Structure 1
Amino acid sequence: MSFLVNLGFGLLFGIGLLFSGMSDPAKVLNFLDLFGTWDPSLAFVMGGAVIVTFVGYRLVFRRGQPIAGEQFHLPMHDDIDRRLLAGSATFGIGWGLGGFCPGPALTALGLGASGTLVFVPAMILGMWAARILTDGPARTRTA
């Protein structure tokens, strides 16, 4: 059952990425081009995502337990350190140069977009290298 729930949410997320234009790297790059062909529509997509996430978290945490799991898995740390800043900067630079972030890249890969044939393997290689360079998998705590 958990697999089907995750598959459904993944499909919903992918469809949302397609409708919002996030799977088009030109749209993302135009959003980042403040002094050229700036396209503010991505800000509305992000704003909508923030609102839905804010309301969703409020509703979900009232339940005390996830629908498709035994417990919530939340990060153990909430401090901002050099490792977080370096990872965020690396992610942002890759996102800005490639025009993709991981979710839209996987969605565009399914559509056969040519840029993803280079981006997705490089992303997977980067994720593997980050895992090797750090001290293991992400630490989590239960709520």
Structure 2
Amino acid sequence: MFRKIIKQSFVALIVGVVFGLGLIVSGMVNPAKILAFLDVAGDWDPSLAFVMGGALITTGIGYRLIFFRKRPVLSPDFLLPVKKQIDSKLVIGSVLFGLGWGITGLCPGPALTALTIGSTEIYVFLFSMSVGIFGFKFVKQCLGHS
């Protein structure tokens, strides 16, 4: 059991490092690059579209290959989302995420990766994001929603 946990943790570490390096190399940790991509009426930088396209292609191929297996290598079952309907929570959450990304030029994954840069803006963003996450959980609990 302990060896399995060590193996899973090691694989997660390697995957995380590769993902973080990909974010750094692609420029996703640079808020100015993200904001330039979103500035379609100004000095637009389309390079982020190629990063996203590459991610979609890689994911599409990966999912096709992975489902030839009966189960994952390091887990007894595939952990896939079961909810498929679009509801107000999904729409509101997506809008808030998009607004935050558009205003700051950061999303959570690249922001965590950008911790290595040591920028004050990154710390402020991550602090604000944490307050929002825990604040939402607190309000949800106060309202009696599970």
Task: State TM-score, norm by structure 1.
Answer: 0.90
Alpha-carbon separation, structure 1, partners of 2:107 and 2:91: 17
Counterpart pick for 2:17 among 11, 15, 21: 11
Partners of 1:85 and 1:40 in 2: CA distance: 26
Alignment RMSD (CA, Å): 1.3
Return the offset for 1:129: 2.8
Secondary structure of 2:115 counterpart: helix
Q: Which structure would you say has the larger RCO, counting Cα contacts within 8 Å and 6 or more residues apart?
A: 1
More strand, by proportion? 1
Q: How many Å separate the matches in 1 of 2:125 and 2:90?
A: 22
Matches within 5 A, 1:100-111: 100-111=106-117
1:96 aligned partner: 102
Contact 1:5 1:68 in 2 (8 A): no
Gaps of 5+ in 2: 1-6
The one-letter code of the counterpart of 1:80 is I
TM (norm. structure 2) is: 0.88
Q: Distance in 1 between matches of 2:19 and 2:64?
A: 19
Count of matched residue positions in the alignment of Structure 1 and Structure 2:
136
Shift of 1:46: 0.2
Structure number, greater radius of gyration = 2
The structural deviation recorded for 1:113 is 2.3
Residue number in structure 1 paired with 2:3: none
1:1-143 correspondence to structure 2 within 5 Å: 1-132=7-138, 133=140, 135-136=145-146
Flag as ranges the 4+ runs of structure 1 deviating above 6 A.
Answer: none
Q: Which has the higher helix share?
A: 2
Residue identity over aligned pairs, in percent, reads: 49
Larger mean CA deviation between 84-93 and 65-74 belongs to: 65-74
